[in-house]
Structures are given as C-alpha cells and as structure tokens.
Chains A and B, each alone.
Chain A
Amino acid sequence: DTEVTQTPKHLVMGMTNKKSLKCEQHMGHRAMYWYKQKAKKPPELMFVYSYEKLSINESVPSRFSPECPNSSLLNLHLHALQPEDSALYLCASSQERGRTVKYFGPGTRLTVT
C-alpha cells in the first residue's frame, strides 16, 4: 500500500477563519512533507518532518502552522490566510528524510476568500 490520504479535498475559507488540513499514511514512513502548488507551477516545499519533529521550515509565514501528532499523521493549521494563499496543498511521505522517492497525497484545493 503506497497511499497517502488527505482531507478535505476542497476547502473554502475566509481570511479570519481557522481551519486544518489533515494527512495520513500507514507505510511506516518516518518523513512527511507539506508542499504548496500554485496553478501551472511545480510543487514548492513548505515543511519537512522527520521522526515526528520539524526539521525544515522553508521560511513559511506563521499563519501556516504544521503539527505531527504521531508517525502516521500530519496536520497543517491555517489562520488568517490571504487570498494569495489559495493553492493546492500536497502532503507527501518517504521512508526517511531526504529520500528522493516520495509518495504524494491527492492534495487539498484551498480557496481563501
């Protein structure tokens, strides 16, 4: 099983809302990632978790707050977002941090109004 699941599939939120994106994998992978993808652009790395600890934050604004409750789950908490944050948010996992083979979830399509 190489499945990474993400919920919700679509999310519309106002600039004052607080929402969370969820990601789950049961492959025993110890690294999990959040990417952001704008239309017609390649995915851009946001955060990397390794063994449930945040190891990389690619200078992401604090209105994005990641959380890794356990080795299978990854959350992205959203607060006071801007319309330009509208994008496809992708979760991925790999056996260990740095492994180039990664498995991606289907993504959450976020629209900020």
Chain B
Amino acid sequence: DARVTQTPRHKVTEMGQEVTMRCQPILGHNTVFWYRQTMMQGLELLAYFRNRAPLDDSGMPKDRFSAEMPDATLATLKIQPSEPRDSAVYFCASGLVRSGGYRDEQFFGPGTRLTVL
C-alpha cells in the first residue's frame, strides 16, 4: 500500500558535519511537510511545500537548514553544519490539497532519528 518513505531511518554524526535526510511522498500527493520532534518542544513544523514550491519555512533556522523538492518524488532536508541541538526525530508527511481547498489527511513517514554528537 502507498506510504511515505524516509531515509536514513537513523543517523549519528559529529557536530559540524552535513546531514541530508530524504523523503519520498505518496505518489499523487501535492503537499509535503517536514516536522521535527524533540522531548522539549514536541512536534513542530519546519517547512512545507505545495506542488514543489516552498510555502513556509519559517520554522527552520535559515542559516543552517535548507529544504528542497528537486522533483515530485523527492523532498530533502539538509543541515549544514549540524549541531548537538539538532538531535531529534525528523518526520516527513504528505497530503493532498484538492481544487477548492479541500484537504485530505496527512500521512507520516517513519521518521529519521538524528543524533549529533
């Protein structure tokens, strides 16, 4: 059945290294979200795209985070340079916004657990 996939599932890296997380949304979905979950902050939105165009990335630290959708089947979230405070689980989710603004539910990927030492 259709599902959102994310790679890698786990990543351990050293402070200062570049981290790239990838997400494959469900085929046909036109909205992609990046969320971060930490014990302290819970779930928070980092960025989201509709039809591959970035709509809101106000939740991301601009100096180190970047999010892109090179094509409709791939979304990426990069951190450069990474810091220990970036340690979290990063979730990608996709959904469908239909004509007239009707929104379907969001489907979440399994997440990437990032640890920055």
- Do A and B pair up? The answer is no
